[in-house]
Amino acid sequence: MNARLGIIGGLSILGSTGIVIPYSCASWVHSIHCAIDAARAAGLEHIAAATGTTSERAVQRLYSLPDHALIDTGDFVGATLKYLRNHPVGRLTIAGAFAKLAKLASGHLDLHSARSRVDIPALAEMLTDLGADVSGAEAARSARGAAEILALAGDREEALARLVAARARGVALATLSGRTSVEIAIVDREGRFLARVGG
């Protein structure tokens, strides 16, 4: 965590490792606020908020971002956006897995599985809008999760991911003040980009 707070060398006030692992929602959100404050204090114009390690690494490689530009947002995308509304940066990339960002696309700001669910009918409707046949659309409506719908999309996978990313971007922009440009990046388990919208 030290590097992300702009502390290079010197004495760590966080113990011998300098690692902080938030164990409560409040502490995680507070760590997000601290990371944003540190990035702003360092004069960074572009930060990336990632829901997981794979998406964080992918976006860091893509833009060669320093560690202190990376915000470990986890499921708290809403908390990140609401803080940025009053503490803006020039550019924000939100990176995450398809299922997580499908929740954001449906208007959920807390992406934890206990507090929000993937809207299967909405994803099935998107697939239908993209030209899926009747049997494909029916299979999508019966799917147990977002990953299954993505697999059913076949050659429409990229188009579906772009549509989800575009809708997620709309939710993010509506939550912000308008002073921050937003990119949504959907990343698969191997760290490949399925879609990037708004970059």
Q: What does the pLDDT read at residue 19?
A: 62
One pLDDT digit (tens) per residue for the chain, 199 residues: 666 666 666 655 555 565 666 567 888 899 999 999 999 999 999 999 999 999 999 999 999 999 999 999 999 999 999 999 999 999 999 999 999 999 999 998 887 766 778 899 999 999 999 988 888 888 999 999 999 999 999 899 999 999 999 999 999 999 997 889 999 999 999 999 999 999 6
Could you tell me the pTM of the whole model?
Answer: 0.86
Angle, vertex CA 167, rays to CA 162 and CA 169, nearest 5? 90
From the list 64, 135, 53, 34, the residue with the least C-alpha distance to 96 is 53
C-alpha to C-alpha distance for 80 and 85, rounded to whole angstroms: 9
Q: Which residue has the tokens 């960074």?
A: 44
Q: What pLDDT score does 28 carry? A: 86
Please report the pLDDT score of residue 102 as a whole number: 94
